[in-house]
Amino acid sequence: MKKFDVLVLGGGLAGVSAALRVAELGGKVCLIEKGDVGTAGFQRRNTLFAEPRRPVSPSISWNEYRVTLAAVTEEYCRSMKKKLDAAGVSVITGKGMMTAATELCVQKKDGEDLLLQGKSLILACGSKTRFRSTLPREDGVVISIEEVAQLPTLPENILVIGGGVFASETAVGLRKRGCKVFLCYEQKELFPEMDADFNVAIERQLKEKKIKILAGKKIVSFYKNGAELKITLETNIKFSVHQIIIAGDRSGVAEISAVEKFGIRCGEHQKIFVDESMMTSLPGVYAVGSIAGDLTSDTLAQEEGRVAAENALGKKRQLNREWVAQVARLFPNAAYVGCNMKTAGHRGFHPVEGIFDGGGGDGDGGGENLSSLRPAEKYKIIADKRSRLIIGAQIISDQSADWIAMLLLLIKKGITVGNLAHSISSEEAKIKGLSDAAKNCLLAIKSP
């Protein structure tokens, strides 16, 4: 039996981040993955976004694009393996199963069984799409978000079901590839973590790109009519598509009977309950990534992995999901961090907001070239009226990823809205939207 400080079951982004953090802190760690490290999660998030990593011609065919995607995925997986090797992480390819609280039996591809023991165990096995009984999976007709990369061709008309980052990015990515897209979600807002005005702005921009938004709607029925699917939604909305992609509902991939017998509590749809330290109900066993809930963004998966790793080695750290910057690759990108106006009051703050709206949106919204529209920028700074500390931000801008990461650091440092409003930078033109939002927030604080 091989012994380690920490065993990590699952080689997605959350699992890799956990393993690297354990190694960085000096722990002996083993990562167990049944396939290629990083492949499944990377493709789920990046199937329709290969361009940032490799130039892609707008006229490229879907088959040619898939070749590029495969090359980009392989390159990413190699880089992950190199990081693990350089950090001294032991990587074993095989299927792992719990045999005791912090003990795994790994069945390798050659049939050999290995018994591994750790002082702590981190479960990072991921999740799978959950198909409802009213919308069962059917090859080529009703499929999961993971299956998009394997499609031989892209249908002309597609219905994407789900809200949040993954569903909205899928809709935008498919539209970029020339598909007519319907985006349907049951909640009232596409991004519940953002305020209503930003949801309105995001929906408006998606509509400008001819993505049909169907908010707060459920599918009542659908049936096949030749190559088409006839869809009926609540309020008797009817339309036709060629394919349905489920980009929201998830189930954990852990075998519930296999973990519950050790005292690990699970909820609906095979999701494992965790506390703020990412520990399950079984001491010494942690769960990270989508196995513990819904699909997690890259930034959240990494943070969960790091938090679990530190606690597995005896440190005391809790995860605050609000302080994890989130970015959605839209047009332009949307990002948020910290409290919004809806949640700040529940945290004991007296929130005030300052908004700068950069306008944009020139063009008639027609045509197939998405770049024909001038992207509208929008910035919001949220502060606590008593302390004047910045407690949240929301951004719609091509620079969202950079600005939101910077703001997170400033928030953690305790920057006041006045500091940001009067900041001076050599990139003053680029930071003007943030600065103006902070100035408007300062005015709101000073008003009676």
- Quick: pLDDT tens for 181-206: 999 999 999 999 999 999 999 999 99
pLDDT at position 63, please? Answer: 94
- Quick: pLDDT tens for 218-256: 999 999 998 899 999 988 999 999 999 999 888 887 655
Q: What is the C-alpha separation between 28 and 2, in angstroms, rounded?
A: 11
pLDDT at position 193, please? Answer: 94
pLDDT at position 136, please? Answer: 92
**pLDDT of 362 over the 90 cut:** no
User: Within the chain, which residue ranges are assigned CATH 3.30.390.30?
Assistant: 323-446
Residue % of the chain over a pLDDT of 90: 73
Fold (topology level) of 2-129+250-319: FAD/NAD(P)-binding domain (3.50.50)
| φ, ψ at 170 (rounded to 5°) | -60, -45
pLDDT at position 370, please? Answer: 45
pLDDT at position 361, please? Answer: 46
pLDDT at position 111, please? Answer: 80
User: Within the chain, which residue ranges are assigned CATH 3.50.50.60?
Assistant: 2-129+250-319, 142-246
Residue % of the chain over a pLDDT of 70: 94
- Quick: pLDDT tens for 247-284: 988 888 765 556 878 889 988 888 899 999 999 999 99
DSSP 3-state assignment of 390? strand
Its pTM stands at: 0.91
Q: Which amino acid is at 137?
A: R
**pLDDT of 214 over the 50 cut:** yes
Q: Shortest CA distance to 22 belongs to which of 286, 311, 279?
A: 311
Query: What residues contact residue 63 under an 8 Å CB cut-off, 6+ apart?
Result: 152
**pLDDT of 372 over the 80 cut:** no
Q: What is the C-alpha separation between 371 and 373, in angstroms, rounded?
A: 5
* CA contacts within 13 A on the Cβ side of 348: 1
- Quick: pLDDT tens for 47-104: 999 888 888 887 899 999 999 999 999 999 999 999 999 999 999 999 998 999 899 9
Q: Are 9 and 32 in contact (CB under 8 A)?
A: yes
Query: What residues contact residue 265 under an 8 Å CB cut-off, 6+ apart?
Result: 272, 273, 280, 281
pLDDT at position 392, please? Answer: 97
Instruction: Specify whether domain 323-446 bears CATH 3.30.390.30.
Output: yes
257-271, 316-330, 419-433: range with lowest mean pLDDT: 419-433
Q: Between 340 and 372, where is the model more confident?
A: 340
- Quick: pLDDT tens for 144-184: 999 999 999 999 999 999 999 999 999 999 999 999 999 99
pLDDT at position 299, please? Answer: 93
**pLDDT of 442 over the 50 cut:** yes
pLDDT at position 270, please? Answer: 82
Q: What is the C-alpha separation between 195 and 345, in angstroms, rounded?
A: 13
pLDDT at position 427, please? Answer: 52
pLDDT grade for 110, boundaries at 50, 70 and 90: confident
Class of domain 142-246: alpha beta
